[in-house]
Structure formats: C-alpha cells, structure tokens
C-alpha cells in the first residue's frame, strides 16, 4: 500500500479529483488530501475527509505537534496535484511554503506530478510555461493538459486529463522502478527533454461505406508506452488508429483511420522525434477499389476483392532517417507473430531497418485486447532480450529502458 498525497488546487476541475481519490483508495492506497484554502470553495472539507478517511486541513498550524508540513512530504510515496492551477505551479516553482500543500512539496523526496487545469490563455502564458520548465528541470512530472471544453463556452488546451488516466499514470509511478524523482532532486528523468512518437491501435481499410478490413488491436500497448514515456519526462505524441480508450494523460493524440492516414501522420511527426515506437497493427493490404454503395447480398457471389499493398510505415520511417541523416533517432518496431520461429523476425528486422524489433506472440491469452504481453526484443546490433510475461505497462517500461540506453 502506497502513501499518496493528493493536492487539490482552486479550480472548477476539483470535482474530478473526487473520482481520482476513489480510484486510488480502491487500489488500496492510503490517500491524504491536501487542498488549498480556496479549493474548499469548490469541494468542501467534509467531502474529502469522508472519501479519504483522513483529516483534511490547508494550513500548517492544525495538528502542529505532529509537524504535518514536514512529515507529510517525508512520508509520501507519491504527490499528485490535480488540478494544478497556474497559481500552484507558480508558487511551487518559486519554492514558496505559504500553506500546507506548498510546504509538503518542499519536503517531498518522492515522485511529484502536476496535472494542470486552467484556461488556455493562462496555460500558454510565458510565465506559466517558464514555471513548468523549471518544475520539469527539477525532476517533477508536469503532464500536458487535455484539449477540450473548459469553463463556460471556452474550449482548448487546459482541460484536466481524465481521472482514469491520471490514476493509470500514478500506478506507473508507484510500480517498482517508478521513474520520477522528488522535487528536491535535480537528477533529470530518463526521457526529460526528449520527444517521442508512438503509433497505436489498428488501421481500417474500407470495402464500402459500411464494411472494412481490420484487426483486433485496441491500442492498449501503445497507450501503455505513452503513459510510461510521460512518467519518464518525455513530450509524447500518439498517432492512434481507431482507438476507443481515453487519451493518455499528458500526451498529444492524433486520430487516424487507415494505413495511408497513419503513414502521412507518422512521416509528418517523425522529424521532431528522438524516439519512435510503432506498436500499431497496420494493414498490409487494402481493397484496390472502394465501392461507393454497400455491397448487396443478392443471391450471387460477389466478384473477388482485389487487394493492393499499403505503404510500409516502419520501413519508410527508417528510410527517412537514413536520407535525412537523423542518426541519433531510435526506432522501435513491433511484430505480432503466430509463428515462434525467430528467423522470419530477424529477416523482418533487417528489412525494416529499425533499431529494435519487439516480437510478441498473439493468441493464447496474449496480444490483442489483453492486459498482459510477453515478447522478445531483437536489436540491430544482434542483441536478443527476452521479455517474460508481464503487464503491458511493465513491458513498455522494459522497452523504454532499452531505448534510453541507446539515446544516451
């Protein structure tokens, strides 16, 4: 059981922190809610106390004999601030200790996560961006806010990520080998300052207005890579094909449908990336022609459907890297296989031109739509690294370790 400090800022999104608190408690964690004084204008002290089963206060004088402004941070396994307002971010960056929450931040030597929520203009203001950069430099995780509806009719970047995704990020950081350091440490996170590009999901190739050729990929593994990269300090872009999951907290998501859509999006984003991970299940073929009307079942067998090859996204990413001389970029491919023979996988690694090919068996409770995965990582330098069965989040952590070694 982990000891979590849930800091709550004075924003309308404070009500969402109630759901985040419930998820943390149901996972078995001990949660102490530390709101700011004005946060209690949005959700009151009785609510936080009832949901957490812990006392709630905003000042350093209540229960002073227990020295809470020191002990809370010292004893925490994770500090998660949601919502993190522009005010909290500014006071944390300045090292203020004018209430219990900011004092706790100064004494914490555990992972510290800020989940910003504010209007777009406040998020984009140079002062806020400078403060965010300061916190990240010190080792905190400041996730990118979601894009969507804000207070009133406003919409844009500044929305609090969904509680389920913030909970998933917290679980990643609390897992053995969690990557974030405390605010008091200046050791950078493993992917701090890096930009990573991840593909996820399964492409669809239309036969007619109502049918398509597709596969069973749900995007779970790709989104696990995104969460892990955010926890390691990276700026994350996900190109997602037909994924119905909530956006990973802190990641930019670009929606696509077909292999050609994904090809265009990945090639457009690739020049900005230090590392690329292709987890998406991309259709090798598409119908040579799409019917404008639904193909009817009228008692006659339809004409055979002619297929044509889709572009090879992974091979084209490697070719672009060679052509542009981006030698520092690390490219990882995924190969879902039903044949345990690695000879074909080694040939695919050479053909695709990537640095690492993660070969994962599908079927038998593994692969598409499952919580677990196992794989073998084949490297262009000849290294073979088995990855025993584990959660998809843990597999993502394992592969990022391999990538970080190559980036450094």
Task: Spell out the per-residue pLDDT of the chain, length 408, in tens.
Answer: 899 999 999 999 999 999 999 999 999 999 999 999 999 999 999 999 999 999 999 987 777 667 667 889 999 999 999 999 999 999 999 999 999 999 999 999 999 999 999 999 999 999 999 999 999 999 999 999 999 888 888 889 999 999 999 999 999 999 875 554 444 444 568 898 899 999 999 999 999 999 999 999 999 999 999 999 999 999 999 999 999 999 999 999 999 999 999 999 999 999 999 999 999 999 999 999 998 988 888 766 677 889 999 999 999 999 999 999 877 999 999 998 776 678 889 999 999 999 999 998 776 666 666 778 889 999 999 999 999 999 999 999 999 999 999 997
CA–CA gap between residue 5 and residue 87 (Å, rounded): 19
So which residues are the catalytic ones?
215
Q: Tokens at residue 39, please?
A: 């946060």
The contacts of residue 338 (CB under 8 Å, 6+ apart) are: 361, 362, 363
Half-sphere exposure of 74 (CA within 13 A, CB side): 6
* Residue closest to 180 by CA, chosen among 30, 77, 106: 77
The DSSP letter of residue 50 is H
Q: Are 48 and 21 in contact (CB under 8 A)?
A: yes
CA–CA gap between residue 389 and residue 361 (Å, rounded): 11
Q: Are 294 and 209 in contact (CB under 8 A)?
A: yes
Write down all domains in the chain, each with its CATH number in brackets: 3-174 (3.40.50.1950), 195-407 (3.40.50.10300)
The DSSP letter of residue 133 is H
End-to-end Cα spacing for the chain: 34
Q: Are 110 and 139 in contact (CB under 8 A)?
A: no
CA–CA gap between residue 345 and residue 357 (Å, rounded): 8
Q: Are 144 and 229 in contact (CB under 8 A)?
A: no
CB count, 10 Å around CB of 169?
26
The contacts of residue 60 (CB under 8 Å, 6+ apart) are: 68, 69, 99, 100, 103
> Using one digit for the tens of pLDDT, what is the confidence trace for 294-304?
888 876 667 78
Note the residue count of the chain. Answer: 408
CA–CA gap between residue 40 and residue 54 (Å, rounded): 16
Q: H-type helices in 27-148, by residue range?
A: 45-52, 68-75, 86-94, 100-107, 120-124, 126-137
Q: Are 269 and 237 in contact (CB under 8 A)?
A: yes
Q: Tokens at residue 350, please?
A: 């050479």
CA–CA gap between residue 58 and residue 251 (Å, rounded): 31
Q: Are 222 and 198 in contact (CB under 8 A)?
A: yes
The secondary structure element, H or E, covering residue 168 is helix 163-174
Q: Are 368 and 281 in contact (CB under 8 A)?
A: yes
Q: What is the pTM of this model?
A: 0.86
**Predicted local distance difference test score (pLDDT) of residue 186:** 42
CA–CA gap between residue 96 and residue 102 (Å, rounded): 6
């Amino acid at each position: 059981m982990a000891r979590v400090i849930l800091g709550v800022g004075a924003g309308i999104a404070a009500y969402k922190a109630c759901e985040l608190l419930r998820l943390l408690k149901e996972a078995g964690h001990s949660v102490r809610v530390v709101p700011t004084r004005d946060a209690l204008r949005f959700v009151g002290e009785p609510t936080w106390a009832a949901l957490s089963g812990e006392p709630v206060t905003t000042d350093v004088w209540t229960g002073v004999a227990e020295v809470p402004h020191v002990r809370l941070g010292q004893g925490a396994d994770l500090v998660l601030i949601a919502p993190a307002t522009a005010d909290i971010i500014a006071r944390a960056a300045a090292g203020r200790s004018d209430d219990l929450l900011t004092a706790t931040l100064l004494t914490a030597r555990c992972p510290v996560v800020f989940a910003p929520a504010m209007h777009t203009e406040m998020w984009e203001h140079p002062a806020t961006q400078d403060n965010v950069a300061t916190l990240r430099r010190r080792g905190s995780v400041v996730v990118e806010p979601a894009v969507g509806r804000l207070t009133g009719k406003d919409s844009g970047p500044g929305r609090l990520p969904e509680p389920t995704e913030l909970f998933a990020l917290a679980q990643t950081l609390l897992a053995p080998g969690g990557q974030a350091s405390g605010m008091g440490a200046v050791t950078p996170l493993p992917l701090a300052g890096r930009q990573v590009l991840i593909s996820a999901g399964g492409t669809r190739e239309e036969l007619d207005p109502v049918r398509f050729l597709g596969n069973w990929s749900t995007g779970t593994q790709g989104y696990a890579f995104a969460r892990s990269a955010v926890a390691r300090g990276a700026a994350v872009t996900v190109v997602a094909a037909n994924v119905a999951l909530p956006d990973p907290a802190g990641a930019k998501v670009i929606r696509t449908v077909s292999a050609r859509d994904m090809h265009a999006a990945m090639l457009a984003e690739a020049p900005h990336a230090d590392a690329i991970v292709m987890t998406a299940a991309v259709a090798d073929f598409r119908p040579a022609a799409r019917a404008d009307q639904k193909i009817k079942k009228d008692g006659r067998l339809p004409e055979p459907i002619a297929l044509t090859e889709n572009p090879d996204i992974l091979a084209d990413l490697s070719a672009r890297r060679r052509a542009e001389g981006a030698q520092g970029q690390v490219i990882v491919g995924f190969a879902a296989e039903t044949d345990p023979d690695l000879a074909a996988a080694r040939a695919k690694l050479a053909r695709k031109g990537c640095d690492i090919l993660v070969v994962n068996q599908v079927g038998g409770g593994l692969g598409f739509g499952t919580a677990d995965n196992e794989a073998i990582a084949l490297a262009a330098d000849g290294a073979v690294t088995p990855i025993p069965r584990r959660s998809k989040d843990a597999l993502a952590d394992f592969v990022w370790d391999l990538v970080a070694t190559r980036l450094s």
